[in-house]
A and B are shown apart, each in its own frame.
Chain A
């Protein structure tokens, strides 16, 4: 189980950066999701789960 990011779906609403600012940021030009640092987002982190739950476009999902 891991976090899958599909930037082609991202609309730059910023819900991930709002929910988990230490994990997700936004591209300064397009506003699309960019992971912070090198580590993969931890699906066990409640803030990351919130980012998944509130992502409006399905750009951040939980892999089965």
Chain B
């Protein structure tokens, strides 16, 4: 067996391939030693089957205070503070399960499907605004960010007037180049706003998710944290999936007609875009005990980085993985993660992506990039992959 020297997590995407995982990542074996930001020597998983089994194995923890950071955040190498009450993404069962039980009913497939019509109306409003502006604009603010922001604000019961402020704060929270103080200030500002809103909803409930939650058994502190998490997650993720997704489609124009072939084709297409782009590309777990994995022993306390973007391009799971093929069966991709922490809002994201992308390409059949593909500014160093802007144009009416 060959011994591979522990290396840091590769983060540099290959030049001219904005949709591909960092090239160094593809060269790593499915399980290898990795040096973390603070010098900890842990592990890196790139294989699909292994990534799945680590994410689902309850001997691996998601607790923030146990976790080592795969890469430094503006010089900050960790450790992270323990999750505060309500910060369910950094907790294990049974605490985590309690939050999931309180929240999962709000995001069921059935409930999200009933939102499709409203998402369609919101999308149509954004597309109307594009048409009114005329050909030649940046698609990110008017479409990619606008649709998910309007949807999550309406669902939670957050006034949309302050939308641009939230957008900036959520972006700051996911930017690895932003200073820690900047990130924390952004989170605190968002939290402060949500706190005011939670107080209002508790006093005068309205017909929305946040009001609904105030009648349950979450404390005020928990409500603020959960509300901030849901708003933050709903803003930045789907927005980047839409921006990067449209970019991918415009650079693969032979695939675009699939988006006009009806709901079933669009459902499959969205799963393939999720797989191919894997915007939430990295997750971390920590062994709570010694665990044998693929012939190696992960010692208790060692961190394991799950490179979902590599796992989703594992040729053992997906044939010809570097090809974007909207007709393929992409079920089983790890773009929403796997295991008990799999994305709570994934069914909402699916509905938004299907409705918004199908709507866009139906309304603007001649949509195309307004600049050469290599001039589209791509996020280089962020927890969530995406584009900063997407200049597009189309044939005017």
Residues of A within 8 A of B (CB): 11-15, 17-19, 21, 25-32, 50, 53-54, 56-58
By beta carbon, the residue of chain A nearest B108 is: A26
Across-interface contacts of A30 in B (CB, < 8 A): 101, 104-105
State whether the Cβ of B243 lies closer than 8 Å to any Cβ in chain A. Answer: no
| Tally of contacts, chain A with chain B, CB under 8 A | 77
Asked whether B105 lies within 8 Å of A56 as measured between CB atoms, the reply is no
User: What 3 A-B pairs are tightest by C-beta distance, nearest first?
Assistant: A12-B104, A31-B104, A56-B342
CA distance A52 to B105 in the complex (A): 20
Asked whether A13 lies within 8 Å of B343 as measured between CB atoms, the reply is yes
The secondary-structure label for the interface of chain B is helix
The stretch of B189-197, B333-341, B359-367 in contact with A is: B333-341
Asked whether B105 lies within 8 Å of A29 as measured between CB atoms, the reply is yes
Q: Mark B166-192, 1 if CB is under 8 A from A, else 0.
A: 000000000000000000000000000
| Contact partner, B101, options A19, A32, A56, Cβ 8 Å | A32
B255-271 CB contacts (< 8 Å) to partner A: none
| Contact partner, B109, options A26, A50, A56, Cβ 8 Å | A26
Quote the shortest CB–CB distance from A23 to chain B (angstroms).
12
By beta carbon, the residue of chain A nearest B100 is: A11
Q: Give the contact-size bracket for chain B.
A: 20 to 34
With A56-B56, A58-B56 in contact, do A11 and B342 touch (Cβ < 8 Å)?
yes
Asked whether A28 lies within 8 Å of B339 as measured between CB atoms, the reply is no
Asked whether A28 lies within 8 Å of B97 as measured between CB atoms, the reply is no
Asked whether B100 lies within 8 Å of A21 as measured between CB atoms, the reply is no
Asked whether B108 lies within 8 Å of A17 as measured between CB atoms, the reply is yes
| Contact partner, A28, options B105, B331, B341, Cβ 8 Å | B105
CA distance A53 to B49 in the complex (A): 12
| Contact partner, B332, options A11, A26, A28, A53, Cβ 8 Å | A53
CA distance A13 to B335 in the complex (A): 13
State whether the Cβ of B347 lies closer than 8 Å to any Cβ in chain A. Answer: yes
CA distance A50 to B332 in the complex (A): 9
With A13-B342, A25-B110 in contact, do A57 and B105 touch (Cβ < 8 Å)?
no
By beta carbon, the residue of chain B nearest A13 is: B342
State whether the Cβ of B76 lies closer than 8 Å to any Cβ in chain A. Answer: no
Q: Mark B320-353, 1 if CB is under 8 A from A, else 0.
A: 0000000000011000111111111011001000
By beta carbon, the residue of chain A nearest B337 is: A56
Quote the shortest CB–CB distance from B311 to chain A (angstroms).
14
Quote the shortest CB–CB distance from B317 to chain A (angstroms).
11
Asked whether A13 lies within 8 Å of B104 as measured between CB atoms, the reply is yes
